Structure formats: C-alpha cells, structure tokens
C-alpha cells in the first residue's frame, strides 16, 4: 500500500516509490518492435532540469543523432498539468503542435492518469508517445540507431563490456540516481536515514573504484559514466541542500569531484548542463519541500572549469 506525499508515492514506511514507466515500446533498427528507427520520425522531449532526460540529451549528442531525432525542451517549472512547452512561440511545440506533453500521453492512452515524465519519445506523425522508458531509451540510441550515428561516434555500450556496465549501473541507479530522490521525498526519518546511508556508501564505493581508473568501466566513456554524471552534476546545486544529502558536498569528495569535472569538461557533457533550469525546477516545483520557492544563487559554477588532473 502506498500513500501520496509531496505529489509522489511513498510506502507505508515513508519510502519514496518511483512510478513505473507507462510506455515501454522500443524503437528498433529492423522495426520488429513495431517502431523502426528512421530519421525525422520521432521527437525526443526533455527537460534540461531532469537527470533522466539529461542522459538522453548527452547520448544523442555524443552519437551525432541531432539530425535524426529532433529535440523538444519543456519549461523547467512543471505546473498542475505537467510539463509545458512555454519556451516555444505561442506556448506550443512547433512540431507536435501541443501545449503540454500530457496531450501526447493521452493520445497514446486516453485512460492515463499517472504522472507525465521526461524523457519521452513521441511519434511525429501520430502524436503518440512511443516510450518514456528512460533506461532503455539511451541503450537503444546506442545499439538500434547505429546506422545514423556520426562517423567515429563512441560505442557507449560495447558488447564486450555490457555485463560489467549493467552490474555497475544497477547500484548506481538504486542508491545514487534514485537514492537522492529517496532522501528528498522520504516521509519518515527512518526511510530518509536508510536512503542517506545507502547513497553515501555507494558514493564511497564509486570513489574507491575511480581512484584507480579514469572511467567506471574500461578506458573510455560508457553509458555508466553518463548515468552517474547527471546526478553528480546536480549534487551541490540541488541534492545537497534541497534533498538533505548533506554528509558532504561533491566538491568535498576529491575523487568524485575531479571525475565529475573531467566529464563536465568533455565535449558533449558540460555544454548540455543548464544550471538555471536545474535550480528553478527543483526549488520552484517542489513547493512542499521549499514552500518559499526561493532559488539559491550558489554554488559558484566557475569551479567546474578548474583543472581536474585526470588525464
């Protein structure tokens, strides 16, 4: 049994429960899934504030899929009807011709009553959501869209390393990516402290791993690094204070701070980060946690450009 707390579901023990992804169709190279990878057929809808959507933005850019899959960016502040296209002229997405992402959800499933989430991939012709399955979206961009990758694009999910990548990203998801939310949206002290302990235990394990190697798996950037980066880059700006993840700041964890700066300074990473969207979304949208809706000025973002020493 779950109850609603802060607009999210929590267990009876007060633990945050993440909503299951409603649309889980896959877009495949051969179209055997019912949806075939093809340039111009799909639109990726993201919030630059959202770490789950941020992954898809990074992967799309690194693989050179910008011309194959168009990008829609929603307003960082969600209102009572969900994600809005207020950054576009006339407050409508120019390709999908909708004001809210929820319209595409309801076209695909008129009975849908859950929370509308990003990233979502929408079929341009029908206006229906194909998938909001964020873990699979980036893997499929790497594996099912190969025909449309730019020449020399990195292999972010190399077959020989997939088992190790999968093993590394599972505890990252449970304890870090989702762990910060489990801290921030916990509705009991016990649930919060359990999530807090698991978060920092995993960060300590990752710090130990990265003290001896530049990237999480192998000697090149992989899906695992992208998944960790999008949480780390938001840590000091949002999660440390807003979500009470305050044992220490990322900038006070030497290995992880250098690793995060290394990625930030890599083309395709830092240039996709929008700290204004990130801070406005969390501090303004989560009014049960931050009822004043005051958005902090800090931290000093210039530190992301300092030398990282991880050549």
Write down the H helix ranges in the chain.
Answer: 51-63, 101-108, 134-143, 162-172, 179-184, 189-210, 223-234, 254-264, 275-280
- Cα angle 73, 75, 79 (rounded to 5 degrees) comes to 135
- Tell me if 116 is assigned to a ligand binding site: yes
Active site residue 245: no
83 is in an annotated binding site: yes
Q: What is the DSSP letter of 44?
A: E
* Active-site entry in 100, 157, 181, 284: 181
Is residue 255 part of an annotated ligand binding site?
Answer: no
Least Cα distance to 277 among 51, 43, 19 occurs for 51
Active-site residue among 50, 157, 183, 239? Answer: 50
Q: Is 35 annotated as a binding residue?
A: no
Pairing of strands 2-5, 8-11: antiparallel
Angle ∠(36,48,239) on CA atoms, nearest 5: 125
- Identify which of 162, 303, 172, 282 has the alpha carbon closest to the alpha carbon of residue 226: 172
- The answer to whether the beta carbons of residues 138 and 223 sit under 8 Å apart is yes
Residue 131 in marked binding region:
no
- Which residue shows structure tokens 């303004």? 284
Determine whether 181 is an active site residue: yes
Tell me which residues are annotated as active site.
Answer: 50, 181
- Annotated binding-site positions for glutathione: 83, 115-118
């Amino acid at each position: 049994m779950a109850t609603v707390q802060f607009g999210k579901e929590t267990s009876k023990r007060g633990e945050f429960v993440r909503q299951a992804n409603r649309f889980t169709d896959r877009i495949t190279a051969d179209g055997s899934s019912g949806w075939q990878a093809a340039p111009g057929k799909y639109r990726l809808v993201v919030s630059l504030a959202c770490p789950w959507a941020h992954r898809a933005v990074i992967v799309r850019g690194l693989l050179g899929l910008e011309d194959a899959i168009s990008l829609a960016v929603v307003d960082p502040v969600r209102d009572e009807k969900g994600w809005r296209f207020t950054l576009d002229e006339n407050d409508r997405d120019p390709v999908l011709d909708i004001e809210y992402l929820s319209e595409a959800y309801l076209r695909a499933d008129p009975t849908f009553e859950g929370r509308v989430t990003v990233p979502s991939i929408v079929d341009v012709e029908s206006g229906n959501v194909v998938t909001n399955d964020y873990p699979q979206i980036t893997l499929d961009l790497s594996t099912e869209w190969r025909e449309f990758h730019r020449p020399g694009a990195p292999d972010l999910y190399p077959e020989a390393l997939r088992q190790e990548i999968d093993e590394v990203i599972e505890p990252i998801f449970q304890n870090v990516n989702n762990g910060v939310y489990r801290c921030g949206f916990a509705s009991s002290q016990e649930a919060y402290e359990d999530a807090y302990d698991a978060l920092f235990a995993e960060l300590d394990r990752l710090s130990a791993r990265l003290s001896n190697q530049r990237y999480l798996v192998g000697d090149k950037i992989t899906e695992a690094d992208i998944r960790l980066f999008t949480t780390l880059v938001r840590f000091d700006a949002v999660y440390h204070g807003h979500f009470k993840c305050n044992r220490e700041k990322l900038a006070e964890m030497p290995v992880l701070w250098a690793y995060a700066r290394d990625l930030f300074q890599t083309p395709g990473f830092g240039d996709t980060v929008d700290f204004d969207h990130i801070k406005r979304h969390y501090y303004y949208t989560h009014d049960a946690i931050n009822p004043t809706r005051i958005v902090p000025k800090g931290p000093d973002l210039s530190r992301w450009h300092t030398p990282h020493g991880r050549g």
